[in-house]
Structure 1
């Protein structure tokens, strides 16, 4: 056994403590208050871990990926989007930001994961380009939301689809007691399969999947919800936006992401090929059809209406799902509002109707 003299051991311990204190001071120096201005300069080597598959494809197709790297931002892309996957990755500290609708930010808060929305986009003519339609199983008679009474409806409490179901019921004057909600997480084509096999009568499915669903299952139908469902955000761990280096990188990313969405509006065929054909493996005709169905994205000059809609949804879910009341203004980082509006320039949407 080797014995270290007490004096030498104390010296080593003092050095370790001093080093730890220095590191702690260095980390504290990089912390950015949420009320502070966003830094402009991205330190070399700053990395963002992002789940944003559509934008990843658009950046590559448009050449904007080079501008991102020229800005000093290194990206680690994750094939993740949507609430359940992103929240799980946040909790494991494997992800900084993810593209989602607005509902995941609510459930992150309700389940103890602190996040901030740093990007808002809207669909131009949202009622003409719904994100979801209500798929109806073959042989089931549902011609309007009023016909949902007594039906078995696929439902995922923590996803945008679940919130949409509750909003549709509310608009139709129905309650959860008037229907049978079947807990089923929407992953891949799980809702389509559930409808096709008649495990449920009704399920909210992506508008781009309706054509495929109705072609695959004879007798399958669908109806419009008549409800605006176009929320599109990028949300990040609060610790990411509190990190001065990552906040600077996010400022650059949000600006370039804005331009990427606008590029996709102007280059629908290239967007269809880069994402829906090359990444999602649709054929050319279906890829172009999906882009047309989804409509163009707009960058709002103000987030006021988006926040208002999110608060209304939070209040509904608090009542229907017995969650704590939530002030959604605590979930948005409005420092990025001007960043994306400035990046959009004269293409910014000034009349984001409620």
Structure 2
């Protein structure tokens, strides 16, 4: 009995730490955390971030040193509340995946993507996966037909599931979508209330490496999607110089991470409390460099909108010509290492 209890504690501990950090992140939004000095006369850039995101990356790369402005970081547990805050004007800019950006823009959010990057290198796609319990009878994506699949609505997890479902010859309506945040989805998977969970990043790492869950399918066989930093119109026009400086620093930090993945993973593990192996696994989503926002990229993003429309996730296809702002390309792509 004692051994069973201890074993269960070892399984639960990483999730207790992870969800406690997420709760603290959500609380952190209520009190924006400054970086770059406390001079009230300096301009301020309010940045939305997710756990282990841009702040950890840029600190590890040394790109938060000697800022000519102040940064106020707002930490969010997922892209959806970050995008809501951005649309409401509570923050100026924030990092999100292409699918949640598309979902928010289709919901009439007044935002624009101003910086794009694409993960590259070994392991790309492994940190986005559909996870099932290790003893699940489900052995293929096709076997998800009629079963409960949990994810966050409009998230990278849902778009991954849609891509894999279509690849397996199923329609979106063939699965029973269960919309839960990541914490609730993990609990539902453990209890047997759902059959599978489509998620990303350290959630996949902990599920597989710490809890022994099984990856049913991941994104490693799919073309890598871009990630974005999205900004509000007011920040694009009213804070352009400091927004451009931030994006240049972010681009340099990504190049640094590509060259120093272990150093970045150590910083991420220290800041989040994640085991190093989970941090190292999850950073594959960040190992990549900036790429231009251009017509080819916009055409690629149109596929996400179309996929969401086919699945009934968005009510109509919006005009996306104004969703992607190429005016920061020169700044983001400049190499000043």
| Category of TM-score, reference length = shorter chain | 0.7 to 0.9
Shift of residue 98 of structure 1? 1.0
Residue 196 (structure 1) aligns with: 190
Residue 155 (structure 1) aligns with: 151
**Alignment length (residue pairs):** 293
Query: Does 1:45 find its partner at 2:38?
Result: no
TM-score, normalised via structure 2 length: 0.77
Residues 9-33 of structure 1: CA deviation (Å, up to 9, x unaligned): xxxxxxxxxxxxxxxxxxxxxxxxx
| In structure 2, C-alpha distance between the alignment counterparts of 1:222 and 1:179, rounded to whole Å | 15
Residue 260 (structure 2) aligns with: 267
Residue 23 (structure 1) aligns with: none
| 1:340 aligned to which of 289, 308, 332 | 332
| In structure 2, C-alpha distance between the alignment counterparts of 1:52 and 1:96, rounded to whole Å | 11
Residue 237 (structure 1) aligns with: 232
Q: Kindly indicate which of the two structures has a greater share of residues assigned to strand.
A: 2
| In structure 1, C-alpha distance between the alignment counterparts of 2:191 and 2:257, rounded to whole Å | 36
1:152–1:200 CA contact under 8 A, matched in 2: yes
| In structure 1, C-alpha distance between the alignment counterparts of 2:308 and 2:246, rounded to whole Å | 31
| In structure 1, C-alpha distance between the alignment counterparts of 2:86 and 2:213, rounded to whole Å | 41
Shift of residue 262 of structure 1? 0.8
Q: Which structure 2 residues correspond to residues 27-66 of structure 1 after superposition, within 5 A?
A: 45-52=42-49, 54-66=53-65
Shift of residue 264 of structure 1? 1.4
| In structure 2, C-alpha distance between the alignment counterparts of 1:196 and 1:239, rounded to whole Å | 44
Deviates more, 1:96-105 or 1:44-53: 44-53
| In structure 2, C-alpha distance between the alignment counterparts of 1:126 and 1:313, rounded to whole Å | 24
Shift of residue 254 of structure 1? 0.8
1:138–1:198 CA contact under 8 A, matched in 2: no
Shift of residue 213 of structure 1? 1.5
Shift in alpha-carbon separation, 1:49–1:338, aligned structure 2, 3 A: same
Shift of residue 175 of structure 1? 1.2
Residue 280 (structure 1) aligns with: 272
| In structure 2, C-alpha distance between the alignment counterparts of 1:92 and 1:181, rounded to whole Å | 28
Local SS of the residue matching 1:103 = helix
Shift of residue 204 of structure 1? 1.1
Residue 5 (structure 2) aligns with: none
Residue 116 (structure 1) aligns with: 112
Local SS of the residue matching 1:278 = helix
1:127–1:228 CA contact under 8 A, matched in 2: no
Residues 276-315 of structure 1: CA deviation (Å, up to 9, x unaligned): x222112334433444x54721222564443222100101
Q: Which structure 2 residues correspond to residues 137-176 of structure 1 after superposition, within 5 A?
A: 137-176=133-172
Shift of residue 261 of structure 1? 0.9
Shift in alpha-carbon separation, 1:303–1:91, aligned structure 2, 3 A: closer
Shift in alpha-carbon separation, 1:128–1:249, aligned structure 2, 3 A: closer
TM-score, normalised via structure 1 length: 0.74
1:153–1:181 CA contact under 8 A, matched in 2: yes
Shift of residue 99 of structure 1? 0.7
Residues 142-190 of structure 1: CA deviation (Å, up to 9, x unaligned): 333222222211133222212222222222221133221112233xx33
Structure with higher Rg: it is: 1
Shift of residue 45 of structure 1? 2.4
| In structure 1, C-alpha distance between the alignment counterparts of 2:49 and 2:281, rounded to whole Å | 21
1:134–1:203 CA contact under 8 A, matched in 2: yes
Q: Which structure 2 residues correspond to residues 324-335 of structure 1 after superposition, within 5 A?
A: 324-335=316-327
Residue 222 (structure 2) aligns with: 227
For structure 1, list consecutive stretches of 5 or more residues without a partner in the other structure.
1-43, 346-354
Shift of residue 118 of structure 1? 0.8
Residues 308-339 of structure 1: CA deviation (Å, up to 9, x unaligned): 22100101212322522123231111011222
For structure 2, list consecutive stretches of 5 or more residues without a partner in the other structure.
1-40
Shift of residue 91 of structure 1? 4.4
Q: Which structure 2 residues correspond to residues 286-301 of structure 1 after superposition, within 5 A?
A: 286-291=278-283, 293-294=284-285, 296-301=287-292
1:314–1:328 CA contact under 8 A, matched in 2: no
Root-mean-square deviation (CA, aligned residues, Å) is 2.6
| In structure 1, C-alpha distance between the alignment counterparts of 2:82 and 2:228, rounded to whole Å | 13
